[in-house]
C-alpha cells in the first residue's frame, strides 16, 4: 500500500502530470507553426520570398524543439545529450550553415516531433484528465445529488443518494492506482522525446572523439566512451557501437591510428 500511496509524495508524479497536461497546448502550437510556416514558405518559393519564410520557420521550430527537449529532460528525466553540437573549425559561411540546417537530419527529426506532438499530446491530455475524472467523480456524486442536481452516465440518470454511492469504489481504486498509472504512461512520451529529440549527429561524435584523443594522447574505446559520456551524458544516443563506428571512420580517413596492446586496441591521433 505504501508503494501505491507513496506516488502522491513523489515529485516525479506531479512533474509527469504537468508534462502530460502541457502536451495539448504545446502540441497545438508546434503543429500550427510547422504546418503554417512550411505551407507558406513552399507556396512562396516561386517568388523567392519563401526562402526567408522557411528559414525563419525552421529557426523557430528548432527553438521550440530545444524547449521541448529541456522540458522532457526536466519533467520526465528523459535522457538527452547535454553537450549539443561540438564546434568545429570556423569553416562555413552563412549560406553553408543555413543549408546544413535545412537539410540536416536533426532538423527533420525535430520537425517530425513537433508534428506528432499534437496527436500524442492530445492523447496524453485525455489520459491524465480521464484518470483524474475517474478518481474524483465518484466522490463528487453524493454531493451533487445532495444539492438537488442530477447527473447522467449514458442512459443512466443518477438522482438518488444510494445510486450516487455506486461509483465510490471506482474512485477509490483510481485514487490508489492513478498516480502509478500516470507514471507508467509517462514512460511513453519520455521514450518518444528521447527517440525524436535526443539524437546525436555522428559528425559530433567524431569531433568529440578527436578532442578526447587530443586530451588523453591515446585511449581505447571504453576510455573514449567514458570521455564522451562526461560531455554528452548517458543515454541511448551514445553507445559503444557509435563510438566504434566513429573510430573506424576516422581511421579510414587517416585521422586516427590504432595499435594492439594486449587484449585491447589503443587509438591515437595521427
End-to-end CA distance of the chain: 61
- Does residue 113 form part of some domain? yes
Is the domain of 6 the same as that of 98? yes
Band the pLDDT of 115: cuts 50, 70, 90. very high
- Does residue 6 form part of some domain? yes
- Does residue 153 form part of some domain? no
The arithmetic mean of pLDDT across residues 80-87, rounded, is 66
Q: Which of 16-25, 82-91, 138-147 holds the top average pLDDT?
A: 16-25
Is the domain of 101 the same as that of 208? no
Q: Say what percent of the chain tops pLDDT 70.
A: 86
Is the domain of 114 the same as that of 211? no
Residue-averaged pLDDT of the chain: 85
- Does residue 62 form part of some domain? yes
The arithmetic mean of pLDDT across residues 97-122, rounded, is 87
Position 262 scores a pLDDT of 76
C-alpha cell read off for 221: 574505446
The arithmetic mean of pLDDT across residues 212-222, rounded, is 88
In this predicted structure, the answer to whether residue 129 has a pLDDT above a threshold of 80 is yes
Distance of CA 3 to the CA centre of its chain: 27
Is the domain of 98 the same as that of 206? no
Residue ending a domain, choose from 100, 118, 136: 118
The arithmetic mean of pLDDT across residues 110-122, rounded, is 95
Distance of CA 72 to the CA centre of its chain: 5
- Does residue 176 form part of some domain? no
Position 174 scores a pLDDT of 87
Position 124 scores a pLDDT of 96
The arithmetic mean of pLDDT across residues 49-59, rounded, is 89
Position 20 scores a pLDDT of 96
Position 15 scores a pLDDT of 96
Position 156 scores a pLDDT of 65
In this predicted structure, the answer to whether residue 165 has a pLDDT above a threshold of 80 is no
The arithmetic mean of pLDDT across residues 207-226, rounded, is 89
In this predicted structure, the answer to whether residue 197 has a pLDDT above a threshold of 80 is yes
In this predicted structure, the answer to whether residue 199 has a pLDDT above a threshold of 70 is yes
Residue ending a domain, choose from 70, 87, 118: 118
Residue ending a domain, choose from 118, 138, 165: 118
In this predicted structure, the answer to whether residue 93 has a pLDDT above a threshold of 80 is no
In this predicted structure, the answer to whether residue 135 has a pLDDT above a threshold of 70 is yes
- Does residue 132 form part of some domain? no
Band the pLDDT of 146: cuts 50, 70, 90. low
CA distances to 14, 149, 167, 184, 259 from 7, rounded to whole Å, are: 9, 34, 23, 11, 52
Position 204 scores a pLDDT of 85
Position 152 scores a pLDDT of 62
Is the domain of 114 the same as that of 210? no
Position 87 scores a pLDDT of 52
Contacts with 212 (C-beta within 8 Å, 6 or more apart), sequence order? 219, 224, 227, 228
Q: Are 182 and 20 in contact (CB under 8 A)?
A: yes
- Does residue 260 form part of some domain? yes
Structural domain boundaries enclosing 23? 2-118
How many domains are there within the chain?
2
The CATH number covering residue 210 comes to 1.10.10.10
Position 164 scores a pLDDT of 67
As a whole number of angstroms, the distance between CA 84 and CA 82 comes to 6
- Does residue 30 form part of some domain? yes
Model-wide pTM > 0.85: no
Amino acid at each position: 500500500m505504501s508503494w501505491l500511496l507513496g506516488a502522491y509524495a513523489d515529485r516525479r508524479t506531479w512533474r509527469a502530470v504537468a508534462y502530460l497536461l502541457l502536451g495539448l497546448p504545446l502540441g497545438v502550437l508546434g503543429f500550427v507553426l510547422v504546418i503554417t510556416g512550411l505551407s507558406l514558405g513552399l507556396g512562396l518559393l516561386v517568388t523567392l520570398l519563401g526562402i526567408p519564410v522557411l528559414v525563419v520557420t525552421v529557426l523557430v521550430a528548432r527553438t521550440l524543439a530545444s524547449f521541448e527537449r529541456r522540458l522532457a529532460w526536466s519533467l520526465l528525466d528523459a535522457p538527452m545529450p547535454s553537450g549539443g553540437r561540438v564546434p568545429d573549425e570556423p569553416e562555413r559561411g552563412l549560406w553553408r550553415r543555413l543549408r546544413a540546417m535545412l537539410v540536416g537530419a536533426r532538423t527533420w527529426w525535430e520537425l517530425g516531433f513537433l508534428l506528432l506532438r499534437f496527436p500524442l499530446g492530445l492523447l496524453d491530455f485525455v489520459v491524465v484528465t480521464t484518470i483524474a475524472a475517474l478518481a474524483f467523480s465518484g466522490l463528487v456524486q453524493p454531493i451533487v445529488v445532495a444539492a438537488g442536481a442530477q447527473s447522467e452516465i449514458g442512459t443512466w440518470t443518477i438522482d438518488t443518494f444510494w445510486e450516487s454511492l455506486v461509483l465510490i469504489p471506482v474512485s477509490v481504486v483510481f485514487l490508489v492506482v492513478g498516480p502509478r498509472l500516470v507514471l507508467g504512461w509517462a514512460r511513453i512520451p519520455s521514450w518518444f522525446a528521447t527517440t525524436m529529440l535526443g539524437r546525436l549527429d555522428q559528425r559530433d561524435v567524431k569531433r568529440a572523439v578527436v578532442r578526447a584523443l587530443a586530451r588523453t594522447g591515446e585511449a581505447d574505446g571504453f576510455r573514449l566512451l567514458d570521455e564522451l559520456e562526461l560531455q554528452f551524458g548517458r543515454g541511448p544516443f551514445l553507445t559503444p557501437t557509435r563510438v566504434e563506428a566513429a573510430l573506424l571512420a576516422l581511421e579510414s580517413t587517416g585521422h586516427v591510428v590504432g595499435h594492439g596492446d594486449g587484449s585491447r586496441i589503443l587509438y591515437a591521433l595521427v
